[in-house]
Amino acid sequence: MEARQLVQLAEQFGSPLYVYDAAKIQSQYHKLENAFGKVKHLRINYAVKALSNISVLKLLKQMGSGLDTVSIQEVQLGLLAGYSPEKIIYTPNGVSMEEIEEVAALGVQINIDNLSILEQFGAKHPTTPVCIRINPHVMAGGNSNISVGHIDSKFGISIHQMPHLLRIVQNTGMHINGIHMHTGSDILDIEVFLYAAEILFEAASHFKELEFLDFGSGFKVPYKKDDIHTDVEELGKKLGKRFNAFCAEYGRDLTLAFEPGKFLVSEAGYFLAKVNVVKQTTSTVFAGVDSGFNHLIRPMLYGSYHHIENISNPKGKERFYSVVGYICETDTFASNRRIAEIKEGDLLCFRNAGAYCFSMSSNYNSRVRPAEVLWYEGKGHIIRERETFEDIIRNQVIMDFEPAVAVTV
C-alpha cells in the first residue's frame, strides 16, 4: 500500500491502527496454490492464530481456504465466518479431553499430539477419524520460541514412540485419517522441509487408511529488503514431486495440506502509530509512539524485526532513532534505526504487522486495543472498532465495601 493511503486511513480511523491489504493476502494464497499446482489435491488451512478477525477468515474462505485452529474459540470463529466443520482442523496442545470431545462433536477434524489423549479418545470414539501430530525431532525455526519439532519440544508424538502409537491404534480400532507435523516458524532452508517430509512419509507408511498428509507451516517471509524467504515455487516443485511419488507407492491420491499463518497475512499488515514525543538523551534520540508492546509484542517477545517508516515525511533526511512505546517498563520496538526525520505528530508505519500482532495484543496498562481496517478494492473497511473504556471494565464485578469502622483501643 502507498504511504498516502495509509496516512489517509489513520486520519479517517485514528491511531494506533492496524491495516490489512486484502489483495496481498489473496496474492500470497494464489502463490502457494500455484506452487503446488502439480499436486492433485491441495488443501491450505489458514492458521487462525496469526490473525483471527472474522472478516479476514471470510476473505480466505472465499478463496477456498480451510482453517487450522488451536482452541475451541478459534473453531467457533471459523464456524461463525461460515466455514463448514470439515474445512477445519483442530490441533490443540495440552488441552482437556472435554474440549477435544466438544470440538469433535462439531464435526471438526481432530489432530491429537499425545499418547494419553489418543488412548482415551480412541477408546471412547473409535469411529471418529483422527489425525496424528508427530514430532519428527527436527530442529527448525527462526528462534527457540517458535521451533517446535525438536527433541525437547512439548509438541507432537515422538517418532520413536511409533510402536506404542501403533499398539494404541490397534487396540482401540480407531481410524487414523491423517498424519501431521509442524517443525517451526521462519524456516530458512527448504532442505529442512524436505528432510522432515521424509520422516512424515515414513510415519505415514504405517497407516493404511490415510486421506491426507499435513506438512504444517514454517514458511519464512521477508522482513526487510532482500531478506531471505522461503522459495515456495522451488518447494512446490520438489516436495510436490516427492509427494506424488509417495502417493503412487501408497496406492492412493492423498491430500497434501499446509497450515500457513505468516505466509498469508504477515506482509499484508501495517501498524500505524503516531509519535507523541521526540526525546533527545545523552545516548540516543527516542521517538515515543501512542502504542506499546500491549499492541505489538513481537519485538519484545521474540526480538523480531519490523521495518519502520515515517509515512508523514517519507522523503526526509534519515537519522538514527530508538522507537519506543508508552508502557511503563522497557518497551522497545527498534533501536538505532535509520528513519526519515521524525517530528512529534508524525505517523510511523510498522511493516509485517499482519501475523501475530493484533492477535497477541492485550489491555496491559488498561489501554484499549486499536481498530482494524481491511483495505479491499480500493477502500478501507473497518473490521474491528477501537475498544473503549467500557471494554476494559466489561467483565469486572465491582464490589462495594462498607466504610471502615473506627476501632477505639
Ligand X SMILES: Cc1ncc(COP(=O)(O)O)c(C=O)c1O
Residues that bind ligand X (CB under 6 A): 47, 50, 68, 91, 182, 185, 216-219, 259-263, 355
**CB 303 → ligand X: shortest distance, Å?**
16
| Cβ-based nearer residue to ligand X, 195 or 250 | 195
* Annotated active-site residue in 247, 328, 349, 357: 328
**CB 263 → ligand X: shortest distance, Å?**
5
**CB 92 → ligand X: shortest distance, Å?**
10
The set of residues, in sequence order, having a beta carbon less than 8 Å from that of 74 and lying 6+ positions away, is: 48, 49, 52, 67
| Cβ-based nearer residue to ligand X, 15 or 91 | 91
CB 46 within 8 A of CB 259: yes
Task: Please report where in the chains the cell 473409535 appears, as a residue.
Answer: 126
| Cβ-based nearer residue to ligand X, 74 or 290 | 74
Indicate the residue whose CB is closest to ligand X. Answer: 261
Which pairing describes strands 255-258 and 109-112: parallel, antiparallel, or unpaired?
A: unpaired
Q: 195: annotated binding-site residue?
A: no
**CB 141 → ligand X: shortest distance, Å?**
8
The answer for 336, left when phi > 0, alpha when psi is -120 to 50, beta otherwise, is left
Task: Please report where in the chains the cell 516458524 appears, as a residue.
Answer: 185
The set of residues, in sequence order, having a beta carbon less than 8 Å from that of 342 and lying 6+ positions away, is: 275, 278, 287, 310, 313, 319, 321, 348
Which pairing describes strands 212-214 and 17-21: parallel, antiparallel, or unpaired?
A: unpaired
Nearest to 62 by CA among 6, 121, 19, 22: 22
β-bridge mates for residue 391, sequence order:
none
| Cβ-based nearer residue to ligand X, 149 or 288 | 149
Q: 329: annotated binding-site residue?
A: yes
Which pairing describes strands 269-280 and 347-350: parallel, antiparallel, or unpaired?
A: antiparallel
Give the H/E segment covering residue 7: helix 3-13
| Cβ-based nearer residue to ligand X, 32 or 342 | 32
| Cβ-based nearer residue to ligand X, 69 or 294 | 69
Q: 356: annotated binding-site residue?
A: yes
Task: Examine residue 16 and say whether the peptide bond preceding it is cis (omega within 30 degrees of 0).
Answer: yes
Phi, psi of 275 (to 5 degrees): -80, 115
In Å, how far are 103, 170, 183, 213, 267 from 140, measured between CA atoms?
30, 32, 6, 19, 22
Per DSSP, 268 falls in state T
Q: Residue 338 CB: number of other CB atoms within 10 A?
A: 9
Q: 2: annotated binding-site residue?
A: no
Helix axes 72-80, 97-105, angle to 10 degrees: 20
**DSSP labels for 269-285?**
EEEEEEEEEEEE-SS-E
Q: 369: annotated binding-site residue?
A: no
CB 302 within 8 A of CB 63: no
Q: Is 328 an active-site residue?
A: yes
| Cβ-based nearer residue to ligand X, 258 or 350 | 258
**CB 178 → ligand X: shortest distance, Å?**
13
CB 224 within 8 A of CB 307: yes
Which residue numbers are catalytic? Answer: 328
Bind-site residues for substrate = 298, 302, 329, 356
Binding-site annotation, residues for pyridoxal 5'-phosphate: 218, 356
